[in-house]
Structure formats: C-alpha cells, structure tokens
Amino acid sequence: MRNELCEVLNLITYDFKNEDPCKEVRGEKDPIRKFEIYKNSKSNFDCDCSRLADRIYELLWGWNYRNKFSIPDNLKGKLEATKWDRLGCDTMNSFLTTYNHARKIYTQDHDNVRANDYLKKFASLTHSIGNFTLVPFKLDFRQDVKSFNQNRGWHGGKYFVYDYFDLSLKLIKEHVNALGFKAYIDTFYLNDYVDHNYDIIPLFGGHVELLKEDKLLLDNPNRFLPKNEAELIEYLRNVLEKIESRGLRIVKELTNRKL
C-alpha cells in the first residue's frame, strides 16, 4: 500500500479525478476541461469519497465512509475536546468558486481564464490529497439542519463562505474551545493554515479583517470573494502552496508508517 500510494501515484500531485469511472474524465489532459467534464459527468463520482481517498482516511485516522455515523475511538480520543459525534469528508477549497469568479474578473477576455497557469494548476490540485480533509458533520448538532460541508458551500447555507477554508476554519474555531481547535488542526495536518499561535492565516488580503471579527458576519457573502485580479492571483498562489505543503505532510506520514 505504501508503494501504491506514495510512489506509483506520486500522491502529492495525484488528481483523484483519474479515479472517475467516466473514461472521458480520465482521458482528458487539459486540467480545466477535465474539471468541467467531471462536474458534468453523470457518473455521480465524488473524488473526496472515492475508494482511494477512503483508504487514506482509514490509514491516517481510522475513519471510513462506511462507518461515517460514528467516530472511531482513537480519533474520538484526539478530538475529545470538540465533543463532535460525527465527521464527513470534504474538499477544502473549491475550484468551481474560483473559476466562476475568475470569469467575472476577466469578463472582457475569457481566454485569460483558461490560459491562467495558476487556475490550471488549481484545477488539477483541487482534487488532490492535500485538499481533502474530514470536517465536523455539524457545528451545532442541535440546530443545524444541513451538514457543515453543505452549509459552507451552498449559497443560502447557514455557514456559506464560498468554501474558503480559512473562513471555514474560523467558523469551526468559533464553535470549539482553544484546545479543541488545536486538536483539529494537529490531527488533520492543517498546520499550514495557522501560525505558531494557532491563529488562522488569511488566504488573501481581503480576508485579513474578516478573520479579526469576533464572530464572522455572514450576511454579505460577496465580501469573501477577491475584488480584483491581484487578489485572485494572491489567493491562487497561497492556496496552491498550502495544498502542496499539506499533501507533503500527509505523504510523509503515510510513508513513515509501517503499513
């Protein structure tokens, strides 16, 4: 398994869309076009819930999708301070959000979108292991109707933040104590998203003031988006760096274990 995951697949940059049963998705080489075909495919394949992803979750955390309604004891011990009773798999940072917004920023020239090297790389790495994690199924298990995964990415959801993971972490932090937040960061190799004090690092300048709010205001989600090309590029550079860095952390952990 170690060789399969870390050597054969070059897991840090491996695109899990290559696990899609749709031949057209697997065969497409252009990363943006590959993403578009994947999104429009009728195979209902979900990269972050694939067999390969599920096997990695099990190796790292003892969690698997088949037993998603409970948290395994070893993981429950690590996350004891959070008091969560269930987790779900999730893609941390959404390419679709960024792609759609880039098309608005480059409204006069959509060719700039498809030619943007950062966007092309993000299209590939959005479904890589460094951008997959487990999130609490519900932040408020008494009142939340939809899962946190749904709420943070669905327009109109209770915690809608366009799937930006720095803002998602802020929402998580608001619902747990300092010990619980630290445990979540450390357990899921999310250290690239925080500084040494476990303060969340903004993904681009437009999020600096948002992360300083005592409680993130969710009434105007459009303020979460990059305002211009400069902020878009800043976000892309930062998110790509974090995805690759976290992917390296995960691969090192898999490699070092006696699997």
Confidence band of 8 (pLDDT split at 50, 70, 90):
very low
197-248 pLDDT tens trace:
999 999 999 999 999 999 999 999 999 999 999 999 999 999 999 999 999 9
The pLDDT value recorded for residue 7 is: 53
Per DSSP (E only), the strands in the chain are 87-91, 132-136
Q: Is the pLDDT of residue 57 over 60?
A: yes
Furthest-apart CA pair in the chain: how many Å? 54
Q: Is the pLDDT of residue 24 over 60?
A: yes
Interval 109-132 mean pLDDT = 92
Confidence band of 141 (pLDDT split at 50, 70, 90):
confident
Query: In terms of Cα–Cα distance, which of 23, 27, 21, 25 is closest to 45?
Result: 21
Report the chain's mean pLDDT, rounded to a whole number: 92
27-49 pLDDT tens trace:
999 999 999 999 999 888 999 99
Q: Is the pLDDT of residue 129 over 70?
A: yes
Determine the length of the chain. Answer: 259
Residue 230's H or E segment, with its range, is helix 229-256
156-200 pLDDT tens trace:
889 999 999 999 999 999 999 999 999 999 999 999 999 999 999
Residue 90 near residue 48 (C-beta atoms within 8 A): yes
Q: Where along the chain do its domains lie?
A: 2-256
Residue 141 near residue 98 (C-beta atoms within 8 A): no
Confidence band of 9 (pLDDT split at 50, 70, 90):
low
How far apart CA 41 and CA 250 sit, in angstroms, is: 29
Interval 90-95 mean pLDDT = 97
Residue 192 near residue 172 (C-beta atoms within 8 A): no
The pLDDT value recorded for residue 5 is: 53
Q: Is the pLDDT of residue 153 over 50?
A: yes
